[in-house]
Structure 1
Amino acid sequence: MPSLITLLVYALAGSAVGLLALRTGLPGAPLAGALIGAAMVSMSGRMDVAEWPPGTRTALQIGIGTVIGTGLTRTSLEQLQDLWRPAVLITLTLVMTGLVVGLWAGRLLGVDPLITLLGAAPGGISGMSLVGEDYGVGAAVAALHAVRLITVLLVLPTVVRLLTPLGLNNS
């Protein structure tokens, strides 16, 4: 099957399940849905592995970074004056927890510690997968982050909705 058709099938599967997930109203559901849709096609074994044209990942990462960056405004900078301490605490805690959990999981479960360290790192799926790719473990790291990302996108909004009536809110 030609590469362009393969990519089109992946894009259609990701778009279809992403749009379906959009109907749930959960934050981040389109991202999780697209990930699930493309992964289902990939894991089915009926399609060739997607080989994206050179520069595609970079262009998408630039696009995603731009979308996220446009959400950081002057107000965000003003809020950071009050939030820098929690930002430092959260960052240090996540990095340290990732190191501890990664090393512990590798040892406890007998998995390559490089995979579990990168899989437990608080970075995003694309960034950590690319780092893993540099070490030859990109697919395994992507799988761990995909499970984490889908779980967080599906569970955390539900937890927030349950906690909101208990006083957790935006103010």
Structure 2
Amino acid sequence: MPSLMTLLVYALAGTGMGLLAMRTGIPAAPLAGALIGAAIVSMSGRIEVAEWPPGTRTALQIGIGTVIGTGLTRTSLEQLQHLWKPAVLITLTLVMTGLVVGLWTSRLFGVDPLITLLGAAPGGISGMSLVGEDYGVGAAVAALHAVRLITVLLVLPLVVKLLTPLGLGNS
């Protein structure tokens, strides 16, 4: 199959599953759905691996950074004045935990420490996969983050719903 057709199949699979996932109401459903749709096509083995045109990853990184950046508003800065201590504690805890879990997992299962360290890092799937890609382990890092992301997106909203009647979130 020609390269452009291959990319179109992946784009249609990702778009279709992303739109379908939106009906679930889970947070970041389009992202999770698109990930699953493209992964199903890729793992089927019936379509060649997508080779994106040069500059695509850079454009995606700029796009993702822009989307995240637009979410940081003056209100975010005002909230950070009150939340900087929890932000520092959460960040340090997640980074340290990611390092410990990544190294421990590498040793326990004999997996390349680079993969487990990036796979256990607290970043999002897109960012960490792109970092992994720079080191030549993007697919493995994406797989670890995909499992984490899908699990968190399915489990955490349920936990929040169960804990909300107990008075959490009403501060």
TM-score bracket for this pair, using the shorter chain length:
over 0.9
SS in 1 for 2:123: coil
Cα drift, residue 43 of structure 1? 0.3
Seen in structure 2, the aligned counterparts of structure 1 residues 68 and 170 have a Cα distance that, compared at 3 Å, is farther
What's the counterpart of residue 167 of structure 1? 167
Moved more, 54-63 or 93-102: 54-63
What's the counterpart of residue 95 of structure 1? 95
After superposition, residues 149-160 of structure 1 pair within 5 angstroms as 149-160=149-160
What's the counterpart of residue 76 of structure 1? 76
SS in 2 for 1:23: helix
Cα drift, residue 170 of structure 1? 5.7
* TM-score for both structures, normalised by structure 2: 0.94
For residues 10-67 of structure 1, the C-alpha deviation after alignment (integer angstroms, 9 at most, x for no partner) is 1111111111110011111111011000000000000010111111122122222212
Stretches of structure 1 lacking an aligned partner (at least 5 in a row): none
For the Cα contact (< 8 Å) 1:29–1:154, is it kept in 2?
Answer: no
Q: C-alpha separation between the residues in 1 aligned to 2:65 and 2:165?
A: 33
After superposition, residues 19-58 of structure 1 pair within 5 angstroms as 19-58=19-58
Q: C-alpha separation between the residues in 2 aligned to 1:30 and 1:57?
A: 19
* TM-score for both structures, normalised by structure 1: 0.94
Letter in 1 for 2:83: L
Stretches of structure 2 lacking an aligned partner (at least 5 in a row): none
Q: C-alpha separation between the residues in 1 aligned to 2:71 and 2:40?
A: 31
Q: C-alpha separation between the residues in 2 aligned to 1:71 and 1:137?
A: 29
CA RMSD of aligned residues (A): 1.3
Q: C-alpha separation between the residues in 2 aligned to 1:112 and 1:135?
A: 12
Q: C-alpha separation between the residues in 1 aligned to 2:137 and 2:20?
A: 31
Letter in 2 for 1:53: P
Cα drift, residue 136 of structure 1? 2.4
For residues 41-99 of structure 1, the C-alpha deviation after alignment (integer angstroms, 9 at most, x for no partner) is 00000001011111112212222221221121111100000000000000000000000
What's the counterpart of residue 133 of structure 1? 133
Letter in 2 for 1:103: L
SS in 2 for 1:136: coil
Seen in structure 2, the aligned counterparts of structure 1 residues 25 and 170 have a Cα distance that, compared at 3 Å, is farther
What's the counterpart of residue 63 of structure 2? 63
Count how many residue pairs are aligned between Structure 1 and Structure 2.
171
For residues 116-168 of structure 1, the C-alpha deviation after alignment (integer angstroms, 9 at most, x for no partner) is 11111111222222322233222211111111111112211121122111112
Letter in 2 for 1:127: G
What's the counterpart of residue 11 of structure 1? 11
